[in-house]
Chain A
């Protein structure tokens, strides 16, 4: 009886132990430089993850075609986090401890980057996030970098843009469920009110809402010049449509959360004449961007989305770090990355500040008859 019970209790521990020791064989490959990537290839944010992965793959193909890094080929290992919280941490451990990657790329969602960052920091593996805009991500430690601008910056950019348009009286409609939206609103209001702008009315909604008529009626009554609407495309489309139905004709503007083709499908002509800030535009006339767009179109048949460009930039910045350091040693690469200045990325010239955040220009886009058009570039 005792023996049977003992075997029962020891069973789970035994299995675990066997399993743990089985993992002690580690593979080392000296002919390749192994880079890890975490992306949400399936699940809710699969569209972003696939775009990031596309960009990273393109960068790897390019560097290998040009002879690789430090005389070795670059090998990319991509792990899917299924858009699930909790998974990003596990796959990062897998890549860092088992595959011995020398650099990590990912994630776009800030909450997943926050799972990855402490692991990379602890193991001394430089990590570059292509699209996590929340300030907390790089605060984790000195091995964590990003190539996108942070939330506060977009709010400030749109405030600058609104003032340059001569809008003196605006409404702000915030998604209180999204940190992203709250952050943008906060920094928009700060800059805007300091520079003679007046926020006439403030309203809020929650992600997943379908009816915005009461908020919009209040905004209509305030008789504003324009509406600042930071949020994600799903709700923006509905809001724009309902605003036009209520007879609100003033322009609306927001951040990169607007950037999705489905916005135009939902809102139709309702978003014509609206503006939003973004990381890059395929319409930008600069040579580097046009060459990148052509190359991507030739290979994949569509125009690259923002996250393709950011994924590409993140990978290229990491390669630049390894190349300049002349070694794959985490500390050496980190030191090079920390000094990044005017790195020529597709999404603009990237300079990393002392908090390892990218300072770079944002582009303002407008929607004209369902087409996204480039307006101007706003410098930081």
Chain B
């Protein structure tokens, strides 16, 4: 029993989100939208946490990878729909399969991009890596922006009319899988290498750990889930646009990770939910919203620089979260 508890939890999460999603018609669509946004934030933040938190690298390119996933999956959904319907049928099951194909395409594309950018740039450290990933983020955005209007990528106006298939089940299912994969990786014996790279790269490398390999692995897995997150985002909003994936979007995710506590999965999940909800509650204070938001961040960093629920909180009790 104890041996399989992570798998049982994953299964439980999937079943619960499936059941809730059956009743999603009962919910107010605005609240549903916020819940989906929070779920997508969890996918993005937990995956970035693998790179920034557990492995100790500083990537600012998450929005770029998200854009790859969003565009990849949106193009599959928009262009290949009849073909996929031919394979899987047009029923609920067929649509689900078509959606999962779109999501996986987006995720895998993002992983490939992550690998391409990761292999050369992860030999860099700290600030330099941040700059390279930021540059990558901008390159993706500018390329998408300069595609021809009316082409499959839609140019500066972006893509619209993407079917809104991201339900509670898909979003929280993906979040559960993402959390499961990341925690299992980090908690495994092999995964101690991520933490070793974070804690002391020189010492890790001297102990025979291939630091580049660990960094690239973290980056590729992070990129895959960023792509999945992007795909979910595209199928939630129904319309995507290159400008929506600028570096500010990357910062949003970085803020969640730092606020939640670098390397703490529970903290990052909590921060993703809190920040999404807070953003909505502060909507009534329009012009003060950004000030309140920024002030909260400053106070938080002054009083609790280790984050909301730091990893050390859980490590003391036995295993890392």
Contact = CB atoms under 8 A, between A and B. Distances in A.
A10 B172 CA distance: 11
Contact of B146 (A10, A22, A118, A206): A206
Contacts of A16: 20, 35, 38-39, 168, 172, 273
A1 B314 CA distance: 12
Contacts of A41: 286-287
A183 B239 contact: no
B244 A86 contact: yes
B237 A89 contact: yes
Size bracket of the A interface: 35 or more
A303 B244 CA distance: 33
B28 A26 contact: yes
B158 interface: yes
A79 interface: yes
B149 interface: yes
Contacts of B16: 10, 13
Contacts of B270: 11-12
A118 B32 CA distance: 16
Interface in B45-92: none
Interface in A1-15: 1-2, 5-6, 8-13, 15
A182 interface: yes
B269 interface: yes
Contacts of B240: 85
B30 A97 contact: yes
Contacts of B34: 19, 90
A359 interface: no
A342 interface: no
A98 interface: yes
A96 interface: yes
B20 A13 contact: yes
Nearest to A17: B20
B101 interface: no
B277 A19 contact: yes
B239 A20 contact: no
B259 to A, nearest CB: 16
Interface string B1-22: 1100110010011001100100
A299 interface: no
B305 interface: no
Interface stretch (A63-71, A172-180, A234-242, A262-270): A172-180
Contacts of B13: 9-10, 13
B303 to A, nearest CB: 23
B237 A1 contact: no
Contacts of B210: none
Contact of A5 (B5, B38, B241): B5
B239 A118 contact: yes
A332 B38 CA distance: 36
Nearest to A21: B27
B1 A19 contact: no
A12 B28 contact: no
B157 A136 contact: yes
B20 A90 contact: no
A80 interface: yes
Interface in A98-124: 98, 110-111, 114-115, 117-119, 123
A295 interface: no
Interface in A130-147: 134, 136, 140
Contacts of B33: 89-90, 93-94
B186 interface: no
Given A13-B16, A90-B33, A118-B161, A6 B277 contact: no
B30 A93 contact: yes
A10 B161 CA distance: 34
A176 B146 CA distance: 7
A115 B28 contact: no
B39 to A, nearest CB: 7
A103 B288 CA distance: 27
Given A23-B27, A89-B237, A12 B269 contact: yes
B28 A178 contact: no
Given A2-B2, A9-B9, A89-B238, 14 more contacts: A5-B6, A12-B38, A16-B35, A16-B273, A79-B283, A85-B158, A86-B233, A93-B32, A96-B29, A98-B31, A110-B157, A114-B160, A176-B146, A179-B155
Interface of A: 1-2, 5-6, 8-13, 15-17, 19-24, 26, 41-42, 79-80, 84-86, 89-91, 93-94, 96-98, 110-111, 114-115, 117-119, 123, 134, 136, 140, 176-179, 182-183, 206
29 contacts: A5-B6, A5-B9, A9-B12, A10-B12, A15-B273, A16-B35, A16-B39, A16-B168, A16-B273, A23-B31, A24-B28, A42-B287, A84-B244, A85-B239, A86-B233, A86-B237, A93-B33, A94-B283, A96-B29, A98-B31, A111-B157, A111-B158, A111-B241, A114-B239, A115-B238, A119-B238, A136-B160, A179-B149, A179-B157
Interface of B: 1-2, 5-6, 9, 12-13, 16-17, 20, 26-35, 37-39, 42, 145-146, 149, 155-158, 160-161, 164, 168, 172, 175-176, 179, 233, 237-241, 243-244, 266, 269-270, 273, 277, 280, 283, 286-287, 290, 321
The 10 closest A-B pairs by CB, nearest first: A85-B244, A23-B31, A23-B28, A97-B29, A114-B160, A94-B30, A111-B241, A179-B157, A93-B30, A114-B239
